[in-house]
A and B are shown apart, each in its own frame.
Chain A
Amino acid sequence: MAGLATAFGSGAMTNSINEIEEAELILVAGSNTTEAHPQVGRRILQAVDRGARLIVIDPRLTALAARAHVHLALRPGTDIPLLNGMMRCMLDDNLADDLFIEMRTENFHALRDMLYRLDLDQVAAATGVELQSIRRAARLYAKARKAVLCYCLGVTQHVCGTANVETYANLALLAGKLEKEHTGVDPLRGQNNVQGACDMGALPGVLPGYQSVHDLAARGKFEAAWRTPLPAEPGLSLLDMTHGGPEGPVRGMLVVGENPMLSDPDLARVEETLRSLDCLAVSDIFLTETAALADVVFPAACFAEKTGTFTSSERRVQMVRQAVAPPGECRGDGDLVMALAGRMGVPFADASPAEVMEEIALLTPLYGGIYHDRLEEGWGLQWPCPDRSHPGTPFLHKGAFTRGRGRFVPTVHVPPAEQPDGDFPFTLITGRVYHHYHTGTMTRRCAALDRECREAVLEMNGGDAAALAIRAGERVRLVSRRGSLTLRAAVTGRMGPGQVYTSFHFTEAAVNRLLGAARDPSSHCPEYKVCAVRVEKVA
Chain B
Amino acid sequence: METRYLLRKDHLLPLLRRLQKGHRLVAPARNRHGDTFYAEVRDLDRFHLDLDTPPQESAKRFFLPQQEVLFTYRTDGPEGYGFSPVVAPSPPTVYFGLRPCDLTAILYTDLVLLKERRDPGYQRRRQEAVLIALGCSRPRASCFCNATKSGPFLDFGYDLQLTDLGDRFFVEVGRARGRQLVEDWHPFFAEAGEEDVKAQYQVALEAAGSFERSVDLDLAVRALADHGGSDALWAELASRCQGCGGCAFLCPTCTCYTLRDQCLGPSHGERLRCWDACTLAGFTRMAGGHNPADPGRDVLRRRFEHKLRDSVRQHGRPSCVGCGRCVGSCFGGVDMLMAIERLAGEAEPPEEGV
Contact = CB atoms under 8 A, between A and B. Distances in A.
A448 interface: yes
Nearest to A48: B333
A38 B330 CA distance: 11
A324 interface: no
Interface string B246-277: 00000000000010101000000000001010
A46 B282 contact: no
Nearest to B275: A448
A74 interface: no
Contacts of A163: none
Contacts of B260: 447
Tell me if A's interface is mostly helix, strand, loop or mixed.
Answer: helix
A78 B7 CA distance: 72
Contacts of A66: 239
B77 to A, nearest CB: 25
Contacts of A35: 242
A434 interface: yes
Interface residues of B, number: 20
Given A377-B32, A434-B242, A452-B282, A45 B274 contact: no
A377 B280 CA distance: 35
B115 interface: no
Interface string B272-289: 001010001110000001
A63 B333 contact: no
Interface string A435-454: 00000000000011001100
B333 A45 contact: yes
Interface residues of A, number: 21
A452 B277 CA distance: 11
A377 B33 contact: yes
A239 B196 CA distance: 76
B233 to A, nearest CB: 16
Interface in B311-354: 331-333
B244 interface: yes
A113 interface: no
Contact of B289 (A45, A447, A452, A473): A473
A41 interface: yes
Given A45-B331, A45-B332, A38 B280 contact: no
B333 A38 contact: no
A42 interface: yes
B240 interface: yes
Contact of B243 (A45, A379, A452): A452
A434 B333 contact: no
A523 interface: no
Nearest to B244: A38
A49 interface: yes
Interface string B9-34: 00000000000000000000000110
A34 interface: yes
Interface in A22-69: 34-35, 38-39, 41-42, 45-46, 49, 63, 66
Nearest to A34: B242
A66 B240 CA distance: 11
A448 B280 contact: yes
Contacts of A376: 32
Nearest to A450: B282
Contacts of A451: 280, 282
A42 B331 contact: yes
Contacts of B276: 448
B274 A448 contact: yes
Given A41-B242, A434-B243, A49 B282 contact: no
Contact of A38 (B33, B239, B331): B331
Contacts of A38: 242, 244, 331
B70 to A, nearest CB: 15
A448 B248 CA distance: 14
Given A377-B32, A448-B280, A34 B331 contact: yes
Nearest to A39: B331
B219 to A, nearest CB: 23
Given A63-B242, A434-B243, A41 B280 contact: no
Contacts of A447: 260, 262, 274
Interface in A362-379: 376-379
A88 B160 CA distance: 71
A452 B333 contact: no
B243 A41 contact: no
Interface in B33-48: 33
Contacts of B282: 448, 451-452
Nearest to A379: B33
Contacts of B281: 452
11 contacts: A34-B332, A35-B242, A38-B331, A39-B331, A41-B242, A45-B332, A45-B333, A63-B242, A377-B32, A448-B282, A452-B281
Interface of B: 32-33, 239-240, 242-245, 258, 260, 262, 274, 276, 280-282, 289, 331-333
Interface of A: 34-35, 38-39, 41-42, 45-46, 49, 63, 66, 376-379, 434, 447-448, 451-452, 473
Given A38-B244, A447-B262, 17 more contacts: A34-B242, A39-B331, A41-B331, A42-B331, A45-B240, A45-B332, A45-B333, A46-B333, A377-B32, A378-B33, A447-B274, A448-B245, A448-B274, A448-B276, A451-B280, A452-B282, A473-B289
